Structure 1
Amino acid sequence: MIISKITTQKKNKSRYNIFQNVNGKDEYVFSLHEDLLIRHYIRKGMELSDEQIQDIKKEDAIYQYYTLSINYLSYRMRAKSEIAQYLKKKEATEEAIEIVLKKLEEERLVNDLQFSKAYVRTKMNTSNKGPNKIKQELIMKQIPEVYIEEALAEYTAEKEVEKIIKQMEKKLSGNRKKSFQQQLMQMKQSLMQKGFTHGAIETAAQEVDLSVDEDEEMDALRYQGEKLWNKHARKHEGFQLKQKVLGSLYQKGFQMDLIQRFIDEKEEEL
């Protein structure tokens, strides 16, 4: 084809439309970015083969995907896999994605190791997640194992224990409606789900003041005991009712002497 006209796009002044003459009329063939127009010295009257046109289109598509990636990176650091997934949604080919990622790496705009280190620091300082949870998230982002381990080195055992202690002190303070032991067990389970290691949790538990306030514990026991008493009183009475309530409260982590005190209180009401 021979280029008969070149025009600037109305909505994007950095892109140009290329036309050829067909039966005396200018017919649109393709568009490209201004940088490629200059690089290939595209001009009116220039002749382009079909192969040249395909090469320019391919180069232009990669240029557009590269520009999209730069904009995507402007908001925050990204893992390579995140950029690849983003470009796939933009219908980029595997070849184009590979070329764009290589260019971004060469320009040091993408670095999975630096991304991992920044990710660990951010999650460690702004969330209640433990190292195992953060590791899972990095694995989901297809970060190489060696990078993950190097990044997680900053999440030291001391920092992990310190973070756990703060969460324990916050969760185990104030008014309670469950036994201290039940709350402590649930707290440990929650910490495990958040990605904290068993060793760090047990170490933190030894450092936190886990003394039980007997008055608070008794208030929680009465709260649970009343519900259990009313529930079992519908089907049982006397010794069998007391045993049912006693067994249920013991399973909930209350101390036997406090349970017996509650049972004695209920007997006095009868």
Structure 2
Amino acid sequence: MVAKITKISAQKRPGRYNIFLDGKYAFPVSEDVLMQFALQKDLEVDDKLKQALLAADANSQANQLALNYLSYQLRTIKEMRTYLREHEVSSDVADEIIERLELQNYLDDAEYAKAYVRTSMILHLKGRNVIRNELRQKGIAPDEIEDALVLYDSETVLENGTKLAQQVWKRQHKFAQRVRQQKVRQALQQKGFTGDEITMIWQELDLGVDEDDESEALANAAEKAIRRYQPLTDPKQVQKFKQALARKGFAFDAINRWLEDHQE
């Protein structure tokens, strides 16, 4: 069946046009498709051309979708494929778009990995293990991950680990220093620093137990706990008071001495 284009009108959406065949609305196309097929009034459209126009328009829309997705930030090939699939783009069209974006250097997993390593180590103080796992989840190939991690040198590892440890140490000031040290180690492990790296970082830190600081921390914790576990003349309340302080890492001997010094 052959029909003739009788009208081409612009939509409110920029770059989109409505095609009318034999006086009736037929389908929309993008500006790219309009130019690619040189569509104009009185052009005859058979079924074969119509299907080609619809396919080209679907490809054009999917390509624009991909470019919009890239406009916010860098993406991996896996992320792009997932995004297109979620927006019901066929796998064949998605493959074609991804191949084109790779040729245009809009998609480059190796460069993405390097940028991700730089951002993670500078802004987020992440260790190599966490970065490695996150890049794996984003679909980056193992060799590209390891090439990117070369950027994360030992000097930066030491600097970031020390900075993170000091932040955690200050933040956990309500706890006994033994517990604070444990929390620092846990934070370093969770951020992806290896055992050897933590040992190296620890040698640069001065997180030893200071008796005056420990006594002050215990006093502050005890004063807050007193309000909750009154009256301390009740043995059960005393026991709860001791357990609360012990959970913060203070030794029972130190807690008992504090109680003896504050019997009033």
User: What TM-score, normalized by structure 2, do the two folds share?
Assistant: 0.83
Aligned counterparts, 1:19-168, within 5 A: 19-21=20-22, 26-168=23-165
Task: Answer yes or no: is 1:265 the counterpart of 2:261.
Answer: yes
Offset of 1:114 from its aligned partner?
0.4
Q: Secondary structure at the match of 1:5?
A: strand
Q: Secondary structure at the match of 2:72?
A: coil
Partners of 2:18 and 2:247 in 1: how far apart?
77
Offset of 1:199 from its aligned partner?
2.0
Partners of 1:56 and 1:251 in 2: how far apart?
70
AA of the residue aligned to 2:67: I
Residues 6, 16 of structure 1: 8 Å contact kept: no
Partners of 1:251 and 1:5 in 2: how far apart?
81
Taking structure 1 as reference, are residues 56 and 175 closer, same or farther at Cα in structure 2, changes over 3 Å only?
Answer: closer
Offset of 1:2 from its aligned partner?
2.2
Q: Deviations over 1:158-178 (max 9, x none)?
A: 312211111222332489321
Partners of 1:173 and 1:52 in 2: how far apart?
70
Partners of 1:71 and 1:155 in 2: how far apart?
31
Residues 15, 30 of structure 2: 8 Å contact kept: yes
Q: Secondary structure at the match of 1:172?
A: helix
Q: Secondary structure at the match of 1:48?
A: strand
Aligned to 1:14: 15
Partners of 1:35 and 1:264 in 2: how far apart?
85
Q: Secondary structure at the match of 2:8?
A: strand
Q: Deviations over 1:89-146 (max 9, x none)?
A: 3321111111111110011111011011101101111113222222222222112222
Partners of 2:171 and 2:57 in 1: how far apart?
63
Taking structure 1 as reference, are residues 14 and 193 closer, same or farther at Cα in structure 2, changes over 3 Å only?
Answer: same
Give structure 1 stretches of 5+ with no counterpart: none
Aligned to 1:208: 205
Task: Name whichever of 253-262 and 125-134 sits farther off.
Answer: 253-262
Partners of 2:95 and 2:120 in 1: how far apart?
29
Partners of 2:31 and 2:244 in 1: how far apart?
77
Give structure 2 stretches of 5+ with no counterpart: none
Residues 2, 45 of structure 1: 8 Å contact kept: no
Taking structure 1 as reference, are residues 51 and 265 closer, same or farther at Cα in structure 2, changes over 3 Å only?
Answer: same
User: What TM-score, normalized by structure 1, do the two folds share?
Assistant: 0.81
Partners of 2:141 and 2:3 in 1: how far apart?
49
AA of the residue aligned to 2:5: S
Partners of 2:180 and 2:172 in 1: how far apart?
12
